[in-house]
Amino acid sequence: MKNVTVTEKAEEIQVAMQKAVHEAIMMHRFLGNPIAVSIDGKVVVAPVDEIIELQRKSDQEKQNKQNQNSPNAN
């Protein structure tokens, strides 16, 4: 049995969660259902035509946070 570190397991879990969220968002888009999201700490119901833009914004915010927390950040 392979020894797996906590960090490796956490990364596997994070990837699985991101995949599940992506699939759920795509299903909502396919069915035309809105999704509830948190923006600036407030719950917002996003119509299907706004889902992609909200996802891009969320992804960009996550990337910005990761860049700020990276050891190479200025």
Residue with tokens 């035509």: 49
How far is the C-alpha of 5 from the C-alpha of 3, rounded, in Å?
Answer: 7
- Angle (CA) 46-30-22 rounded to 5° is 70
Cα separation of 44 and 36, whole Å? 6
Report which residue type is found at 56. R
Alpha-carbon torsion 61, 28, 26, 17, what sign? positive
Question: For position 18, what pLDDT does the model report?
Answer: 87
Map out the domains of the chain as residue ranges: 6-69
pLDDT at res. 43: 92
Helices (H), the chain: 6-31, 51-69
pLDDT at 6: 84
**pLDDT tens figures, 16-63:** 998 998 888 889 888 999 988 887 889 989 887 887 777 777 778 778
